[in-house]
Amino acid sequence: MVLNKEYALTLDRQDELRRFRDEFYLPKGKWYMDGNSLGLLSKRAESTLVKSLEDWKLYGIDGWMNGAYPWFHLSEQVGAKLSGIIGARPEEVVAASSTTVNLHQLVSTFYKPSGVKTKILADELTFPSDIYALQSQLMLKGYDYESELIQVKSDDGLTLSEETIISHMTEEVALILLPSVLYRSGQLLDMQRLTKEAHRRGIIIGFDLCHSIGAVPHELSDWGVDFAFWCNYKYLNGGPGSTAGLYVNQRHAGIRPGLSGWFGSEKSKQFDMKHTFTPSPSAGAYQIGTPHVFSTAPLIGSLELFEEAGIDRVRSKSLQLTRFMMDLIRQELMNFGFTIGNPFEDERRGGHVALQHKEAARVCKSLKEMGVIPDFRSPDVIRLAPAALYTSFTDVYETIAVLKGIMQEKHYEQYENIREVIA
């Protein structure tokens, strides 16, 4: 089969989700392939943000209980909307804080070293912020993170072996934290298997869903995952600085969070102003402070789109888009020194393609000048993320055509092969 523009147009005509493209503000004259770093603004998200501002304007302090989106229960209500995307019960999810704050909250709650069980198991490829947080939590407990934080090694610098991870689940491990999808390579880990193996050994396990939520369906409750956290500004298009989310399995309901704050109170008692903390029986207990209303409001509109599209259809198109992109890369680019660093199997691939090249940093600069918005990750990865709700198959075709032209003309050679300040 010849992969050309006509074939891309045929795929677009067959696309069940094509109507959602009109819901977004697409950069004019550009091909946006960075939805795994920051999703685009939708008209629905804009509308719900404006309505929330109107609530403040019209009601003042009474916005806590009045208006289109009353603030008092906002975090729990948005959490309930998020629950369907990750396969959780509504009471197990809350929209709150930022990604790393939620990680600190969860580790401070579930990391309970005792006897020989003192170590935290992570991996060497995870996002740096997660490691910084784990190091901090170990230090706060009086441990040396050099010895107590185990980071599973990668054989190829891009992917992890589940067998290797499981082999490190020893009797010394008190807690495990892993990414659902590796941020560089896009590898999707088998969360169900890893959870089962951790629990067989009596180990608490949690996942960072930042690079899977909104692109990959999850079944966290059925899998028995203990906790998870994520940002909402990538595939979920919640906007820069969007309020993050967290999940805690209901079997842990009622325990006191490691970091307590007044918005984690049981709602009927919150304004009693007593100095006795009564935690909410839901994941709402893990809130620390007042909801970030205007950082949460765009999510309401964005999640409406996901409810209409359905996460299974989103996943199906995402896999089609990345498969089409990989096929085009193999057809058009392999003679220019590129390799594909992400897994090829659908069940092992998240929502982006990891394209490797020794000149990756300067190629990314060239792509931007030519109208393609990519993402660079050191040392040599160009991440291309066609987001299912607003990326067309023609966008993917044009992206690879632009990249081929850049390589043919050596357009990238005018740039230094070093990253920008924001990579």
Domain ranges of the chain: 5-32+310-414, 47-308
Asked if 210 contacts 132 with a C-beta cutoff of 8 angstroms, the reply is no
128 assigned to a ligand binding site: yes
Residue 418 pLDDT exceeds 90: no
174-211: pLDDT as tens digits: 999 999 999 999 999 999 999 999 999 999 999 999 99
R_g of the chain, CA atoms, integer Å: 22
Question: Which ranges of 87-204 does DSSP label H, i.e. alpha helix?
Answer: 99-110, 128-140, 145-148, 162-167, 191-200
CA distance to 6, 8, 258, 308, 392, per residue, from 13 (Å): 11, 9, 51, 19, 10
Which positions ≥6 away from 82 have C-beta within 8 Å?
88, 93, 95, 213, 232, 245, 299, 303
346 annotated as ligand-binding: no
Reduce the DSSP state of residue 113 to 3 states and report it: coil
Distance from chain centroid for Cα 67: 30
Tell me the per-residue pLDDT of 127-163, one tens digit each, with 9 for 90 and over: 999 999 999 999 999 999 999 999 999 999 999 999 9
Token representation of residue 1: 């089969």
Structure tokens at 339: 């390799």
Q: Tell me the average pLDDT across 14-18.
A: 98
> How far is the CA of 221 from the CAs of 79, 82, 106, 203, 295, in angstroms?
14, 13, 17, 17, 27
Q: Please answer whether residues 188 and 347 qualify as being in contact, where contact means their C-beta atoms are separated by less than 8 angstroms.
A: yes
Specify the pTM. 0.96
Q: Do the annotations mark residue 145 as ligand-binding?
A: no
At residue 377 the predicted structure's pLDDT band, cuts being 50, 70 and 90, is: very high
Write the CB contacts of 358 (distance below 8 Å, at least 6 apart in sequence).
Answer: 337, 380
The percent of residues in the chain predicted with pLDDT above 90, rounded, is 97
Q: Per-residue confidence at 126, pLDDT binned at 50, 70, 90?
A: very high
Residue 274 corresponds to which tokens in the numbers above?
């007593």
Residue range 39-55: mean pLDDT, rounded:
98
290 in a known ligand binding site: yes
Mean pLDDT for the stretch of residues 377-406: 97
Q: Which of 295, 179, 277 is nearest to 228 (CA)?
A: 179
Has 291 been labeled as part of a binding site?
A: no
Residue 233 in marked binding region: yes
CA distances from 17 to 12, 37, 73, 128, 359 (A): 9, 22, 32, 34, 35
Check the annotation: does 208 bind a ligand.
yes
Residue 37 to residue 35: CA distance in whole angstroms: 5
Helix axes 311-332, 293-309, angle to 10 degrees: 80
**Per-residue pLDDT at 1:** 72
Is 275 annotated as ligand-binding?
no
Q: Is 230 marked as binding a ligand? A: no
CATH topology of domain 47-308: Aspartate Aminotransferase; domain 2 (3.40.640)
Model confidence at 388, pLDDT cuts 50, 70, 90, reads: very high
Phi, psi of 356 (to 5 degrees): -100, 140
Backbone angles phi and psi of 290, in degrees to 5: -55, 140
Q: Any binding-site annotation on 222?
A: no
338 is in an annotated binding site: no
Domain at 5-32+310-414, CATH class: alpha beta
Place of tokens 């919150």: 270
Structure tokens given for 279: 């935690």
Mean pLDDT of the chain: 97
The token pair at 117 is 């069980």
Which of the four pLDDT bands, split at 50, 70 and 90, describes residue 11?
Answer: very high
Per-residue pLDDT reduced to its tens digit, 299-329 = 999 999 999 999 999 999 999 999 999 999 9
pLDDT at residue 421, as a whole number: 77
- Taking Cα atoms as reference points, which of 128, 129, 122 lies closest to residue 151? 122
| pLDDT score for 422 | 78
> Is the pLDDT score of 75 beyond 90?
yes
Nearest Cα to Cα of residue 203 among 130, 113, 137, 89: 113
For residue 186, how far is the Cα from the chain centroid? 11
